[in-house]
Structure 1
Amino acid sequence: MPKRLHFTRRLNVAMSEDAYRTLRRFSEEAGLSQDEALCFLFEHFGSVTDDEALPHRLRLFKAELPDRKR
């Protein structure tokens, strides 16, 4: 029997416009609500990320943060 999808946690999330557009596009293409899409991504984080590319992408993102916050 599949686990019941019950949203027990509410999260007020701030994200960039690019990230929001990507989330919206992903949820529409997948036929999910944005809540369901985020739930899917975080529940399956290990299998939807590339283990080799993730550390590199994270380093790049962190290096760009000071400039992006201006």
Structure 2
Amino acid sequence: MDLSPFLGLFKTLFLIFLPFGLVFGILSFAQAKEFQSVFEKVIAGILGGIIFALIFACIITLALLLPCLFG
């Protein structure tokens, strides 16, 4: 089975969700009391945003890939 369309879909979804994830991550970690400096909050927000985008891209890609695998 050729998986290249799904890899393209995953990349596209990741790039679509990445800006929303970065904004969401930075805004949510800006309120965190665990981090002392602004630099730590921004880095944590960026990493959180990347993870957010990765999770949503994986979920949507897997939801579209499963019927092709088992159908």
TM superposition score category, shorter chain reference: under 0.3
TM-score by length of structure 2 reads 0.27
TM-score by length of structure 1 reads 0.27
Higher relative contact order (CA 8 A, sep 6+): 2
